[in-house]
């Protein structure tokens, strides 16, 4: 078929930036805030109606999304707000909310992060060992720096300084992210002994591995944070580095979409 002169070929598919942005965002059923779906946690129901976390967002059927901290989820569960929100999200379908759902969500996010670290290790993107991390960091080859929750302040300080030098961020106070995972959890995830610090390889031209890990890190860190304590700056955690939090939009869309 010939196209008339001066007439453009068009598609029925909307591929505009605004459409793509809307497709990648969801609304938290508890707070009502819309954010990029990669920053939220999906809840799904099993065939027998049990509400479970779906950290990879791959379970079939309708899903509900939450973007609150663990303490906020615990409050919503205790006060009955979560049940009401889930009943709306799942259109009144019979469901059972386990009493330990907040703990299950945290465990699922931690497992998802550990799985991601394992995948990046097999791809050659994880750097371990303080001496090697420091060398790579000073050379600008570490895109993301992570510390175990039980790492020493001195050990973190030394590597943070090397990282700032390598990323031309001296004087900024930027620091690596202290994870809500201890060295035992990291060692199991990576199949190595005594993993206290780790770096994700990358540079200004290739941040893909760091972005994948950062997405999993940010969700876990946000969810596990004590928002009651952080409101008064008493959480005890280090201030995150300059690249610790992903960007989220604010498009108004339906959180009950089947995906």
pLDDT tier, 36 (very low <50, low <70, confident <90, very high otherwise): very high
What pLDDT sits at residue 88? 96
Kindly report the pTM of this predicted structure. Answer: 0.79
* CA separation, residue 257 to residues 28, 63, 132, 146, 179 (Å): 12, 7, 46, 34, 32
Strands 41-45 and 51-54: antiparallel
**Are residues 188 and 161 part of one domain?**
yes
Give me the number of domains the chain comprises. Answer: 2
Residue with the two structure tokens 């869309």: 253
**Are residues 142 and 77 part of one domain?**
no
**Are residues 125 and 94 part of one domain?**
no
pLDDT tier, 29 (very low <50, low <70, confident <90, very high otherwise): very high
In a domain, 87, yes or no: yes
In a domain, 258, yes or no: no
Mean pLDDT of the chain: 83
In a domain, 237, yes or no: no
Give 165-227 as a 3 state SS string. HHCCCCCCCCCCEECCCCHHHHHHHHCCCCCCEEEEECECCECHHHHHHHHHHHHHHHHHCCH
Domain that holds residue 120: 105-230
In a domain, 180, yes or no: yes
**Are residues 162 and 182 part of one domain?**
yes
Among 82, 99, 116, the domain boundary falls at: 99
Among 49, 70, 99, the domain boundary falls at: 99
Q: Look up residue 102 and give its DSSP letter.
A: H
Contact 133, 159 (CB under 8 A): yes
What pLDDT sits at residue 231? 41
What pLDDT sits at residue 226? 76
**Are residues 185 and 76 part of one domain?**
no
In a domain, 244, yes or no: no
pLDDT tier, 227 (very low <50, low <70, confident <90, very high otherwise): low
Here the CATH number for the domain that contains residue 48 is 3.30.1230.10
What tens digit of pLDDT does each residue of 60-84 get? 999 999 999 999 999 999 999 999 9
Among 99, 123, 139, the domain boundary falls at: 99
**Are residues 62 and 128 part of one domain?**
no
What tens digit of pLDDT does each residue of 81-134 get? 999 999 999 999 999 999 999 999 999 999 999 999 999 999 999 999 999 999
What tens digit of pLDDT does each residue of 175-197 get? 999 999 999 999 999 999 999 99
Report the Cα 174 to chain-centroid distance in Å. Answer: 19
d(CA 256, CA 259): 9
Give me the DSSP letters along 105-125: HHHHHHHHHHHHHHHHHHTT-
pLDDT at 166 over 90: yes
In a domain, 76, yes or no: yes
Please state, as a whole number, how many other Cβ atoms lie within 10 Å of the Cβ of residue 105: 24
What pLDDT sits at residue 188? 96
């Amino acid at each position: 078929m010939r196209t008339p002169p001066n007439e453009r070929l068009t598609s029925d598919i909307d591929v505009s930036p605004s459409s793509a942005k809307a497709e990648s965002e969801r609304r938290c059923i508890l707070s009502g805030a819309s954010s990029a779906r990669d920053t939220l946690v999906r809840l799904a129901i099993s065939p027998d109606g049990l509400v479970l976390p779906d950290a990879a967002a791959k379970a079939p059927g309708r899903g509900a999304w939450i973007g609150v901290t663990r303490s906020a989820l615990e409050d919503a569960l205790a006060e009955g707000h979560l049940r009401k929100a889930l009943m709306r999200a799942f259109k009144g379908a019979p469901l059972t909310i386990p009493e330990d759902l907040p703990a299950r969500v945290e465990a699922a996010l931690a497992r998802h992060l550990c799985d991601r670290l394992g995948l990046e290790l097999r791809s050659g993107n994880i750097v371990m060992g303080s001496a090697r991390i420091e060398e790579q960091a000073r050379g600008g080859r570490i895109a993301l720096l992570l510390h175990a929750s039980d790492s020493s302040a001195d050990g973190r300080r030394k590597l943070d300084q090397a990282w700032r030098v390598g990323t031309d961020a001296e004087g900024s106070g930027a620091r690596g992210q202290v994870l809500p995972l201890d060295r035992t959890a990291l060692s199991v995830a990576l199949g190595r002994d005594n993993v206290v610090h780790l770096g994700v390889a990358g540079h200004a031209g290739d941040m893909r591995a760091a972005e994948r890990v950062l997405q999993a890190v940010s969700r876990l860190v946000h969810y596990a944070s004590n928002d009651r304590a952080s409101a008064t700056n008493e959480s005890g955690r280090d201030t995150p580095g300059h690249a610790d939090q992903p960007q989220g939009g604010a498009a108004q869309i339906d959180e009950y979409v089947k995906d």
